Structure 1
Amino acid sequence: MKKQVKIVVYGAEQLCASCVNLPSSKETFEWLGAAISRKYPDQPFDILHVDIFNPPNEEELSKFAKRVVEEDMFYPVVTLEGNVVGEGNPRLKVIYEELEKYGYSSEG
C-alpha cells in the first residue's frame, strides 16, 4: 500500500431536504468505515465525520463544511484525500476505485 488515506464524511444530524429516504450522514460514516475495513482488511485509513453546522476548528475541514452549506450540496458529502467521491448517496464502487488509486488492494 502506498499511503494511508483520509476520508471525511460531511453532514448533519438532520437529513438534507432532498435526501429524506437516504441514511443519515452518521449512518453513512459508520457504514462506509465498516465496508472499507471488510474490503481492505489490514490496510489502515483515517475516517472522520464532520458536522457541517458545527465543524471543528481545523481550517481545511471547516472551510469545506462551509462550502457544503453555501453550495447546497447534497449531504453526506464524502471526500477522499480532499477530492469529492460521493454526494447524497455515495457509491461504494466509486470510493473503492479511488482507494485503489492509492494502492489499496482487496487481494490480501
Structure 2
Amino acid sequence: MEKKVEITIYGTEQLCPSCVNLPSSKETYEWLEAAISRKYPNQPFTISYVDIQSPPDDEKKKAFAERVIEEDMFYPVVLLEDKIVGEGNPKLKTIYLEMEKYGYTAVHE
C-alpha cells in the first residue's frame, strides 16, 4: 500500500430531492466504512462524514461543502483523496478501483 487514503463523505440528514428511496448520507457513510474495512482488512484508511449544512472549520472541507450546495450535486458525494468517486448512490466497485490505484489489495473470501 502506497499511502493511507482519506475518504470524505459529504451530505446532510435531509435526503437529496432526487435520491428518494436511497439511504441517507449518514447511512451511506456507515455502509461504506464497513464495506471497505471488510474488503481491505488491516489496511488503514481514514473515512469521515461532513454535514454540508454545518461543515467543520477545515477550510478545504468547508469549501467543498459549499460547492456541493452551489452545484446542486447529488449527495452523498464521496471523495477519495480529493477525487469525486461517487455521487448520489455511490458504487462500491468504483471506490474499490480507486483505492487499488493507491496499492490497496482486496482480500477474497
What TM-score bracket applies, with the shorter chain setting the length?
over 0.9
**TM-score when normalising by structure 2:** 0.97
Deviating 4+ runs (over 2 angstroms): none
Structure 2 CA distance, aligned partners of 1:81 and 1:29? 16
3-state DSSP class of the match of 1:94?
A: helix
CA distance in 1 between counterparts of 2:107 and 2:20 reads: 36
The code of the aligned residue for 2:41 comes to P
CA deviations 1:3-48 (Å, max 9, x no partner) are: 0000000000100100011000000000000000000000000000
Task: Name 1:106's counterpart in structure 2.
Answer: 106
Per the alignment, residue 29 of structure 2 pairs with 29
CA distance, structure 2, for counterparts of residue 91 and residue 64 of structure 1:
21
Amino acid at match of 2:52: I
Per the alignment, residue 83 of structure 1 pairs with 83
Corresponding position of 2:38 = 38
Give me the whole-angstrom Cα distance separating, in 2, the residues matched to 1:38 and 1:92.
12
Structure 2 gaps of 5+ residues are none
Distance, in Å, in 2 between the alignment partners of 1:107 and 1:44 is 14
Number of matched residues? 108
1:107 is displaced (CA, Å) by 4.0
With normalisation by structure 1, the TM-score equals: 0.98
Q: Is the 8 A contact 2:77 2:86 kept in 1?
A: yes
Deviation at 1:100, TM superposition (A): 0.1
CA contact (8 A) 2:41 2:107 kept: no
Per the alignment, in what secondary structure is the counterpart of residue 57 of structure 1?
coil
Per the alignment, residue 6 of structure 1 pairs with 6
**Per-residue deviation at 1:106?**
1.0
Q: State the secondary structure of the residue aligned to 2:18.
A: helix
Percent identical among aligned pairs is 68
